[in-house]
Copies of this chain bind each other. A is one copy, B any other.
Amino acid sequence: MKIINREIGYAIKALCFMVKEKEQIVTTSYMATYFNISRPFLRKILQKLNQVGVVESCKGKRGGFKLSLSAEQIFLIDLIKIFQGPIQLSGCYDRGQKCPLIEDCPVRLEIEKIEQNFIADLKKISLKTIIDREKYSLVQEKQ
């Protein structure tokens, strides 16, 4: 059970990179080469981030993406929601199908308490938190 899947991981990398470029437009070509990851995959990720307003796309030659929000305004929990949907730690493997305890499942009731703490913790983490924490910058990372 991981919090960060590949889409979210790439999104974080790309967004952190864009934070450093501030108002500049960056292309998926550049970042894909820079991070040595799949460009079409990164494109899909940024398209999604564009659709939800985290970044803004600029079409045409010399186009690309730039941030719509500041690092303080982008939270990890938002990225999780964008790429994985709402957090439902307590979600049942057969919810809505045949689980007979659907209303008052004792397991779910317990896990929902955990979920609240978990979400509260996640809400504290923004891109800024992450960037501030970096010892080795994404630039140094390349070497």
Binding site for B on A (CB under 8 A): 1-6, 9, 12, 36, 76, 80, 84, 87-94, 98, 100-101, 104, 106-107, 109-111, 113-114, 117-118, 121-122, 125, 129-136, 141-142
Contact = CB atoms under 8 A, between A and B. Distances in A.
Contact of A106 (B36, B104, B111, B131): B131
B135 A104 contact: yes
Contacts of A90: 2-4
B110 A4 contact: no
A106 B93 contact: no
B109 A1 contact: no
A89 B114 CA distance: 14
B117 A121 contact: yes
26 contacts: A1-B1, A1-B80, A1-B87, A1-B88, A2-B88, A2-B92, A2-B93, A3-B89, A3-B111, A4-B90, A5-B93, A12-B107, A100-B141, A101-B136, A104-B134, A104-B136, A106-B130, A106-B133, A109-B133, A110-B125, A110-B129, A114-B118, A114-B121, A117-B118, A118-B118, A118-B121
